[in-house]
Amino acid sequence: MRKPMVAGNWKMNGLRANLSEVAAIDQAAAKANCDVILCVPATLISQLALKAKNIFIGGQTCHNEASGAHTGDISAEMLQDTGAQYVILGHSERRIDHAEKDESIQQKVLVAWQFGLKAIVCIGETLDQRDSKITLGVIGKQLLNSIPDSVSGENLVIAYEPIWAIGTGLTPTTDQISEVHNFIRVSLEHRFGDQLGHSINILYGGSMNGKNVVEISAIPNVDGGLVGGASLKAQNFIPIIESIG
């Protein structure tokens, strides 16, 4: 039985003062029927770990090697050491800003697992790809190449994030979300077997907010959300937490 989840992605936003938002989010998480994760900048993880009693903590990327001469990068072990249980990998902003490819994302997933982190792997199509009717092909390739074979179920979350919906206020129709989430579910079951494939949470991400969350989270095979902008303020994030699960 999958437990729904909502993961907030603060991206490159948030100073220590912004952790004042956490107390109310933590209270909402205590009462929620879903797991709540906050993926904050790495600089805030240890501070968040002191404040969060009911929230899981996540990073937003890690290097694909365990350690070494990579100035400015952060390792999975460092995230784990500072208090994270999750890490977002392959977010489209990392794929674009840092030219991350499926193959290196797969290595990152493996190193995240090595240090006990659960990987939230993001996949999604551009608007051009959707208009060219190759969305499912793109998603299938990203799934195949960015997810290692050694999935346990517990250690992986997939986030379907159409790139054109991120931060734009645009969202796909329920039919479009349903088509992709069902495709992901069938692909996971086909590759990993029915039981394991069925157990993996598939989140929707892209302009989710308090108004659209009920409709989106009611779609079969949508197991919650990955939320950017609306996770920064407790007053916007809490209605989403309360609606999922």
Q: Annotated active-site positions, please?
A: 91, 161
Please choose, out of 65-73, 143-151, 214-222, 224-232, the segment that lies near ligand PEP by the rule CB under 6 A: 224-232
Query: DSSP E strands: which ranges in the chain?
Result: 5-9, 35-39, 56-59, 86-89, 118-123, 156-160, 201-205, 224-227
Tell me whether residue 22 or residue 227 sits nearer to ligand PEP (CB atom): 227
Least distance CB 195 / ligand PEP (angstroms): 29
Q: Least separation, in Å, of the C-beta of 224 and ligand PEP? A: 12
57 φ, ψ (degrees, to nearest 5): -115, 140
Is residue 90 near ligand PEP by the rule CB under 6 A?
no
Q: Which of 229, 240, 243, 244 binds ligand PEP (CB under 6 A)?
A: 229
Residue 159 neighbours by CB under 8 Å, 6+ apart: 7, 88, 120, 121, 122, 123, 202, 203, 204, 205, 226
164 to 183: interface string for ligand PEP, x by CB under 6 A: --xx----------------
Among 75, 201, 207, 217, binds ligand PEP (CB under 6 A): 207
Which residue, 129 or 171, has its beta carbon nearer to ligand PEP?
A: 171
Local structure of 67: helix, strand or coil: coil
Least gap, CB of 231 to ligand PEP (angstroms): 7
Closest distance to ligand PEP from the beta carbon of 234 (Å): 16
Q: Of residues 227, 238, 240, 244, which one binds ligand PEP by CB under 6 A?
A: 227
Give the tokens for residue 35: 């797991």
How many other C-beta atoms lie within 10 A of the C-beta of residue 198? 15
Of the candidate residues 14, 172, 197, 228, the single one contacting ligand PEP (CB under 6 A) = 228
Cα 5 from Cα 222, distance rounded (Å): 10
- Contact residues toward ligand PEP (CB under 6 A) are 9, 161, 166-167, 205-208, 226-230
